[in-house]
Amino acid sequence: DVKVTQSSRYLVKRTGEKVFLECVQDMDHENMFWYRQDPGLGLRLIYFSYDVKMKEKGDIPEGYSVSREKKERFSLILESASTNQTSMYLCASSFGGQAFFGQGTRLTVV
Amino acid sequence: GENVEQHPSTLSVQEGDSAVIKCTYSDSASNYFPWYKQELGKGPQLIIDIRSNVGEKKDQRIAVTLNKTAKHFSLHITETQPEDSAVYFCAASPLGGNMLTFGGGTRLMVKP
């Protein structure tokens, strides 16, 4: 089975902190994604990556950056956390159009 | 770009009844349509998908139908059970493409 693992289930950070959300997949997928999930808004794409060191902006990249130094790892970075970034963050990897999600990280910024 | 709309946003059914969730999409180039189920505290999991060369696909109690002309597709769950309670997402993508566009989600509640 494909496994996508996010490093934290729950995080509480202070406004202005730099926050790192880590995601690792074990199926050698080239494509990885970061989504944000908010009530009533579904899944919104923040960034994605087709290959190591490649990244593309999604629909809501403002306030975020990403890093993909190794194929299996895709990191989401909040440069300076703000309260409006309190949300559920979902990482996914995909192959042939099929996406596989991690369990999510619920981030609270206080 | 692609836009996927999903209805209803919430759906409450009695155990044993059927549930239907509908999605429409805008990009005629889309030809891969997966459905995901998200249980509380977990990430979404693929439950069924359909490609544009077929009109219907079944897997036990769940089925998906696709109408490419009208650009809509639906998820049907028969004989619902309490464990079917979850949030369901539809999505659309060009076949072989890497980008899934998701609908807004449907919270299904199955009352025992």
Which residues are CB-neighbours of B3 under 8 A, at least 6 positions away? Answer: B25, B26, B27, B101
**pLDDT under 70: residue ranges of chain A:** 1-2
For B108, counting Cβ atoms within 10 Å of its Cβ (0-12 exposed, 13-18 middle, 19+ buried), the class is: buried
Chain A residues within 8 A of B92 when measuring between CB atoms: none
pLDDT at B95: 64
Tokens of A66: 């990403």
Using a CB–CB cut-off of 8 Å, the residues of A that contact B are 4, 31, 40-43, 45, 48, 50, 90, 92, 94, 96-104
Chain B residue with minimum CA distance to A10: B41
- pLDDT tens across the length of chain B (112 residues): 789 999 999 999 999 999 999 999 999 989 899 999 999 888 999 999 998 888 899 999 999 999 999 999 999 999 999 999 999 999 998 766 677 889 999 999 999 9
Alpha-carbon span A32 to B70, nearest angstrom: 31
pLDDT at A78: 97
